[in-house]
Amino acid sequence: MIRFVFLSSYNHRVVFASLIVVGCSKPVFFASVLKRVNPRPDAVGCLVQLKIHQGLESCSTMENLKQYHSQIIRLGLSDDNNAMGRVIKFCAISTHGDLGYALKVFSTLPQPDTFIYNTIFRGYLQVHLPKDCISFYLQMLHTSVPPNKFTFPPVIRAFTFDNAVEQGRQVHAQILKFGYHLDSFSQNNLIHMYVSFKRLEEARMVFDKMPQQNDVSWTTLISGYSQSGYIEDARKLFDLMPEKNPASWNAMIAAYVQSNCFHEAFLLFDQMQRSNRFKLDKFIAASMLSACTGLGALKQGEWIHDNIKKTGIEVDPKLAATIIDMYCKCGSVEKAFETFNELPSKGISSWNCMIGGFAMHGKGEEADELFKRMENESKTPPDYITFVNLLSACAHSGLVKEGHYYFQRMVEVHSISPGMEHYGCMVDLLGRAGMLNEAMKLINAMPMDPDARVMGALVGACKIHGNTELGEKIGKKAIELEPYNSGRYVLLANIYARASKWEDVANVRKLMNDRGVKKSRGFSLIEIGGVVNEFVAGGRSHPDSQEIYAKVKEMLACIRSIGYAPEAESVSHDISEEEEMEKALFYHSEKLAIAFGLLKSKAGETLRITKNLRVCKDCHEASKLISKYFGREIIVRDRSRFHHFKQGVCSCNDYW
DNA sequence: ATAGGGTTAG
């Protein structure tokens, strides 16, 4: 039995804490204690908070809270901001809370204080209702409740969220008016706000005016520059930063990764490691895995994964997705699947990445099977992306029946209405399978206007199936929908080239040039001995280029002996001289990369190549024959999928 | 209370 002698001490916080420690948690008991001691409001608040804190570990927390709430009311403290503030805090912010209940309590308060307003702001932000947050803020100002330094961060966030540039500036003015120009939290949030408005000059001005920038200020501005495409400015700032921490290193590494500057990301990572001050953490690991994914650098990716395991970095769902994606996109679905199966708990993105991985590798049946597993045994319901990946898997494997089935099932069973991407997959699926009219019909039946990618899928299908007429019509539309995308022009030019309409080919090229659209330069990467080598068509900057060109010649001579004939189709302009045509074909970056791979790897080793564009028909044919002649497996990652060349056959069954 | 990582059709 607890003795009440303590209560005379008036140190209620300690007393209540002790009561809870000894385990007397019945609300009724507390009520009786409270009645006897005529507690101060903050003591009651403390009790509620402690109880709630304890309650967080059990399940029925809202219920518990409501019990304490009624206790407090019975004690006559229903107008008390201190006690009610804590009730509201729990309801508005904690994961098991209930914002609606918080608002109900709020509405009963005659004079809610600053803390309570601040709490409501945070609650609204958490559920992504910035507009409501803003209207409460206005109400706060109208009722002359003075803001404090905790007021502004969430309010700034709300304006950021709402993309309200003008109002955001007004809040900035209010912050200065209320004298919070020295508060780093408010200032950092302002930097973040201007960054997300892409007002980098204004963000920089806030930063420069701060008397004392901290890590967060620096890191926010660094990522801000990089997200707006000012990667060099980001780097300048990073170099200026006096005391770097892991977050700032990662911000810069991630900046490079997001700008596709993977080599720079690796350089910076090496620099960080050499400085010996920071270890790999889960964020840096994730960024570096993405860098590996971008380069198709399997070895380096494995190295990062090994380090994650060795150092015991927790593999949360995001990191798991990154690892799985890395293995898939670096050509090793097997490793990805192994990792996937070993995950103790699988988040939605783990499933999605894995299904997407099977899709990319043309493993439609595996994707199908995995999806069934997801429906049956996992508590994670499939989402929008799951179906994009699943339908894409069907498209890449020619699973027309399954594709139709899932397109329907998505709506009927999972209540997901098809979006642009799903239509894109279906058009691709039907188009590849030669059902061009049905694909066209589906486009016409879409509830939204098809975008360039949906149109592009149909154009691609027209190219495969040699339908020049439809390809021309849709190809032109696709160009007008995305006049700055060079790929659209190239596709139409390819269609004309296939039909030997050289004049039209020339016209498309001219149109493209007149509009100043530059064809994106193709390149191929191959990793040898932990070094990623890059090749561009006709490039001679590689130190071994002489040797490599000789090897290309030899390689092509070899496969000629088993039936290789260069394909004119892959040249998008008319070249009458056979020799010229062959030159253009022979020095495609992919062939250079393969030749280099043959030179530098041991007999029988698999060659893994990553390309930024799609494999051309000639290289595809050549790769098949090389795999046969030289007894090598060649795995090529395309812009859209993988090709596993083995003994003269490609895993895509020439269906790409 | 503020900063750093992932999955989306061609």
Question: Nearest nucleotide (C1') to the CA of residue A258?
Answer: B5
Residue nearest to nucleotide B3 (CA to C1'): A216
Question: Nearest nucleotide (C1') to the CA of residue A122?
Answer: B1
> What is the pLDDT, as a whole number, of residue A583?
67
Residue nearest to nucleotide B6 (CA to C1'): A318
**Gap between the Cα atoms of A488 and A23, Å rounded:** 70
Residue nearest to nucleotide B1 (CA to C1'): A150
State, as a whole number of angstroms, the distance between the CA of A566 and the C1' of B1: 65
Task: State the average pLDDT for chain A.
Answer: 88
Asked whether residue A540 falls in the same domain as residue A474, the answer is no
> What is the pLDDT, as a whole number, of residue A4?
33
A648 contacts A627 by C-beta, under 8 angstroms: yes
State, as a whole number of angstroms, the distance between the CA of A264 and the C1' of B9: 30
A357 contacts A392 by C-beta, under 8 angstroms: no
Domain extent, residue A585, equals: 523-650
> What is the pLDDT, as a whole number, of residue A59?
31
Asked whether residue A483 falls in the same domain as residue A433, the answer is yes
State, as a whole number of angstroms, the distance between the CA of A221 and the C1' of B3: 9
End position of a domain, from candidates A95, A112, A129 = A112
Asked whether residue A533 falls in the same domain as residue A515, the answer is no
State, as a whole number of angstroms, the distance between the CA of A490 and the C1' of B10: 13
Asked whether residue A538 falls in the same domain as residue A619, the answer is yes
In a domain, A489, yes or no: yes
State, as a whole number of angstroms, the distance between the CA of A186 and the C1' of B1: 9
Asked whether residue A545 falls in the same domain as residue A501, the answer is no
Structural domain tally of chain A? 3
Asked whether residue A589 falls in the same domain as residue A639, the answer is yes
Q: Which two tokens stand for residue A26?
A: 């019945």
Annotate A194-234 with DSSP letters as a single string. HHHTT-HHHHHHHHHH-SS--HHHHHHHHHHHHHTT-HHHH
Question: Nearest nucleotide (C1') to the CA of residue A432?
Answer: B10
Give residues with Cβ within 8 angstroms of A140, minimum separation 6.
A114, A117, A147, A151
**Gap between the Cα atoms of A286 and A123, Å rounded:** 30
Question: Nearest nucleotide (C1') to the CA of residue A318?
Answer: B6
Question: Nearest nucleotide (C1') to the CA of residue A429?
Answer: B9
pLDDT tens digits for range A257-276: 999 999 999 999 999 999 97
Asked whether residue A630 falls in the same domain as residue A562, the answer is yes
> What is the pLDDT, as a whole number, of residue A84?
87
**Of the ranges A15-24, A232-241, A595-604, A613-622, which one carries the lowest mean pLDDT score?**
A15-24
Question: Nearest nucleotide (C1') to the CA of residue A253?
Answer: B4
In a domain, A121, yes or no: no
State, as a whole number of angstroms, the distance between the CA of A437 and the C1' of B7: 32
List bases, strand B, within 7 Å of protein CB: 1-10
Q: What radius of gyration do chain A's Cα atoms show?
A: 31
**Gap between the Cα atoms of A209 and A143, Å rounded:** 31
Question: Nearest nucleotide (C1') to the CA of residue A249?
Answer: B4
State, as a whole number of angstroms, the distance between the CA of A506 and the C1' of B5: 45
Instruction: Give the Å distances, CA to CA, from A600 to A62, A493, A593.
Output: 65, 36, 10
pLDDT tens digits for range A589-606: 999 999 999 999 999 999
pLDDT tens digits for range A108-159: 999 999 999 999 999 999 989 999 999 999 999 999 999 999 999 999 999 9
What percent of chain A clears pLDDT 90, i.e. is strictly above it?
Answer: 71
Residue nearest to nucleotide B4 (CA to C1'): A247
State, as a whole number of angstroms, the distance between the CA of A322 and the C1' of B7: 8
In a domain, A154, yes or no: no
Residue nearest to nucleotide B2 (CA to C1'): A185
State, as a whole number of angstroms, the distance between the CA of A12 and the C1' of B6: 47
Asked whether residue A98 falls in the same domain as residue A9, the answer is yes
Give residues with Cβ within 8 angstroms of A292, minimum separation 6.
A298, A300, A301, A304, A326, A330
Angle at A574 between CA A573 and CA A580, to 5 degrees: 95
In a domain, A70, yes or no: yes
Question: Nearest nucleotide (C1') to the CA of residue A459?
Answer: B10
Mean predicted confidence (pLDDT) in A245-256: 96
**Gap between the Cα atoms of A325 and A332, Å rounded:** 10
In a domain, A440, yes or no: yes
Query: Which residue type does A523 have?
Result: F
Q: Which is nearest to A637 in space by CA: A481, A539, A526, A528?
A: A526
Q: Which two tokens stand for residue A18?
A: 């002790």
Asked whether residue A92 falls in the same domain as residue A11, the answer is yes
Mean predicted confidence (pLDDT) in A344-348: 90
State, as a whole number of angstroms, the distance between the CA of A325 and the C1' of B7: 8
Confidence of residue A437 (pLDDT cuts 50, 70, 90): very high
Residue nearest to nucleotide B7 (CA to C1'): A349
State, as a whole number of angstroms, the distance between the CA of A645 and the C1' of B6: 30
End position of a domain, from candidates A83, A112, A141 = A112
In a domain, A138, yes or no: no
Asked whether residue A473 falls in the same domain as residue A589, the answer is no
End position of a domain, from candidates A468, A490, A520 = A520
Identify the residue whose tokens are 């009963």. Answer: A108
pLDDT tens digits for range A22-53: 333 444 345 445 555 555 555 655 555 555 44
**Of the ranges A200-204, A309-313, A324-328, A614-618, which one carries the lowest mean pLDDT score?**
A614-618
Asked whether residue A566 falls in the same domain as residue A619, the answer is yes
In a domain, A584, yes or no: yes
pLDDT tens digits for range A163-217: 999 999 999 999 999 999 999 999 999 999 999 999 999 999 999 999 999 999 9
| CATH (domain of A512) | 1.25.40.10
Asked whether residue A50 falls in the same domain as residue A97, the answer is yes
In a domain, A23, yes or no: yes
**Gap between the Cα atoms of A296 and A347, Å rounded:** 24
pLDDT tens digits for range A77-113: 888 888 888 889 888 988 788 899 999 999 999 999 9
In the 3-class helix/strand/coil scheme, how is A103-137 assigned residue by residue? Answer: HHHHHHCCCCCHHHHHHHHHHHHHCCCHHHHHHHH
> What is the pLDDT, as a whole number, of residue A3?
34
